[in-house]
Chain A
Amino acid sequence: MSATADRLPRLLTLVPYLLARPGADLSEVAEVFGVTPGQLDDDLRLIWMCGLPGHTPADLIDVWWDGDTITVSNADTIARPLRLDVDEASALLVALRMLAEIPGLEDRDALDRVIAKLEGAAGDAAAVSAHVTVDIHAEREVVAAIREALDRGRRLFLRYYVPGRDETTERQADPMRLILVDGRTYLEAWCRKAEGVRLFRLDRVVGVEVLDVAAEVPHDAEPRNLDEGLFQPSPNDQLVTLELTNGGRWVADYYPCETIEDIGEGRLRVSLRTPDTRWVRRLVLRLGGTGRVVDPPELAEEVRADAARALAAYRRSDTPAMSAPAPDGS
């Protein structure tokens, strides 16, 4: 609840909050409600003026300041907070149901119980939450191994597929946390091979083993600030410009682009940074003409050469089923 939003809902929550916690610390309460101590003090002075009809001293809400603590009494009429509205009930229920889909979460039982309790408390407001669903994709066995390593403070052995290079790599990593962003699960870990913090997409983990070695995450290993987005390209990465036709526009949805420009007829010109242009070559092959490299020109030439090399295999007589002629006479 922000300080500028309507004060009335805040007051109606603040009173029961304080009734339940006599002698609450003023600055702690201000923090919980997201207001400054000065604003909270002003709220309390307003509450102090209010009460039951008649408004004699016996009817008014009592507010006691004692140093930095605060006690509220004589407010039985509004001793309970207002019930949850549809948005509030949905926000919690949708998130809880999403968490309940994470495989291997040992708090699963607690989730089921809290969902049932909240549905009961929210009443009709809970019904709408069924119309919002967050589907998550998590690999059960991989998640279980990572959770075990996190709980026991163990190192992991990972076999990890890197599609951009079409390589399966092997490495040891000390797990830091599991991250679930927009339906995908990632392991954030200190990679001992790269000697840095790395993100591993769980659907690309080919094999995982919990090692009998204690994890050692360096103290200065910085977890990623998720508010800035999962992928923060380095300014040293190669800048690539692509032109996409309508059929290739999905690229702009799937990859973090630096610029996206509509150039008419449903076409886009996008630029993105990459530490390794090999994945761009694969991407443009996959696009099959619905996207092309504009810049750098050498990369465009490489992609054309890749395609020509791949096509050659369909013309050689040693490839089986060569009896099927290639279309377009090419």
Chain B
Amino acid sequence: MSRRKTERLFNLVICLLATRRYLSAEQIRHAVPGYAESDDAFRRMFERDKEELRELGIPLETGTDSVWDDEPGYRIRRASYELPEISLEPDEAAVLGLAARVWQRASLAGPASDALLKLRAAGIETTEAAPSGIEPRVATEEPAFPALWRAVRDRQPVTFDYRNPNADAPRRRHVEPWGVVSWHGHWYLVGHDNDREAVRVFRLGRITSDVQRASRPGSVIVPEGVNIRDIVVSGSDHPWTRTARIRVRQGAGHGIRQNARSCIPGSDGWDDLDVAFSDVRRLASWIGGFGGDAVVVSPPEARDAIVSLLSNVAEVGA
């Protein structure tokens, strides 16, 4: 934006904030310096200026003061423009400063520091110093994050290519985004999958294309009472209601021992442990990592699963 244009827009904001009555385009043309002489050029400039103010989030109102006005006028209502009065205690300002640092170089870092600046401009003193010894960070390095955040914000459907872990090639997906969740260090999109006609969770790291916006903003309706975090968590954690008996070599298998419900020490150098699990393949994979230090005793399908897992490793490349 050129200096002259910045100056004109700055004066325009002041002018529209100062007026209580709606000002017509012609009145604005005379009140704000820098508009073109010719009518056509003025009209084009003014249209662009209005657009720019709206893009900056400045609430420009259009209306008339009386039914006799045949031309629309413009003003900015101070109540909708101004940051409401807010005052913070020193301890509140300290945690706010900490919160603004969370995003660091991530894609919400810019908005976080802009927000902090506005609060400071409202007279709040925030400190950069964190409360004692805590350093929180959230990364949003996934390339899909900014586009998905904007789509969630603007309630706009999206399409993207997605690689399902059980499929060889990525597939095109059409999704109405409801929200994004960071869980166990990974970002997930929750939404309505229009191809599957069901709620689905997508891991951002598995999106293989650009995220394209489809349809109009505002067309996504998030159902009442939806908790996006619960959807992600429940999709990943099945209740651990089953029990497996594992024989673990004494002095080894600490990771299993920590998660065991009970331990019967043996006299032959091995202990019998009971552990809870939900899925035999995940159990087999976990116990398999302990190699010869842990043996699945029961149930039989868990034994089958681990024998198959280990056989695959023993035969790879052989």
Contacts and interface: CB of A to CB of B under 8 A. Distances in A.
Interface stretch (A63-71, A162-170, A231-239, A269-277): A162-170
A194 interface: no
Given A82-B83, A95-B102, A311-B307, A88 B118 contact: yes
Given A17-B120, A95-B99, A309 B313 contact: no
Interface stretch (B39-47, B193-201, B209-217, B251-259): B251-259
Chain A interface, >50% SS class? helix
B133 A182 contact: no
A179 B138 contact: no
A40 B74 CA distance: 31
Interface magnitude class on chain B: 35 or more
B185 interface: yes
Nearest to A301: B317
A163 B289 CA distance: 10
Contacts of B114: 1, 9, 13, 88
B99 A176 contact: no
A46 B303 CA distance: 77
Given A91-B103, A281-B291, 8 more contacts: A51-B11, A91-B112, A99-B102, A133-B228, A287-B313, A288-B309, A292-B316, A326-B311
Nearest to A121: B86
Contacts of B181: 132-135
B245 to A, nearest CB: 8
A181 interface: yes
Contacts of B315: 289, 330
Contacts of B115: 84, 88-89, 91-92
Given A7-B1, A107-B91, A166 B138 contact: no
A52 interface: yes
B56 to A, nearest CB: 6
Contact of A53 (B18, B104, B134): B18
Contacts of A134: 138, 181-182
Interface of A: 1-2, 6-9, 11-14, 16-17, 20, 32-34, 46-47, 49-55, 77-78, 80-92, 94-96, 98-99, 102, 105, 107, 110-111, 113-114, 117-118, 120-121, 123, 128, 130-135, 137, 147, 150-151, 161, 163, 166-168, 175-184, 206, 226-227, 246-247, 249-250, 253, 265-266, 281-289, 292, 300, 303-304, 306-314, 319-321, 324, 326-328, 330
B228 A131 contact: yes
B255 A310 contact: no
Nearest to A329: B311
11 contacts: A80-B81, A81-B122, A111-B95, A178-B135, A247-B165, A282-B289, A285-B313, A304-B314, A307-B314, A319-B295, A324-B303
Contact of A179 (B135, B139, B168, B253): B135
A90 B290 contact: no
A142 to B, nearest CB: 14
Interface of B: 1, 3, 6-7, 9-11, 13-15, 17-18, 31-33, 52, 56-58, 78, 80-84, 86, 88-89, 91-96, 98-100, 102-105, 108-123, 131-139, 149, 152-153, 163, 165-169, 178-186, 205, 222, 228-229, 232-233, 247, 252-255, 258, 284-286, 288-293, 295, 297-298, 300, 303-304, 306-318
A77 B15 CA distance: 9
A78 B92 contact: no
Given A52-B18, A179-B137, A182-B139, A120 B183 contact: no
Residue among A1, A123, A265, A307 with most chain B CB within 10 A: A307
Contacts of B318: 304
Nearest to A6: B1
A90 B121 CA distance: 19
Given A46-B7, A96-B96, A250-B165, A328 B288 contact: no
Contacts of A324: 300, 303-304
Contact of A288 (B104, B123, B313): B313
Contacts of A128: 152-153
A121 B83 contact: yes
Nearest to A113: B92
A313 B303 contact: no
Nearest to A100: B95
Contacts of B86: 117-118, 120-121
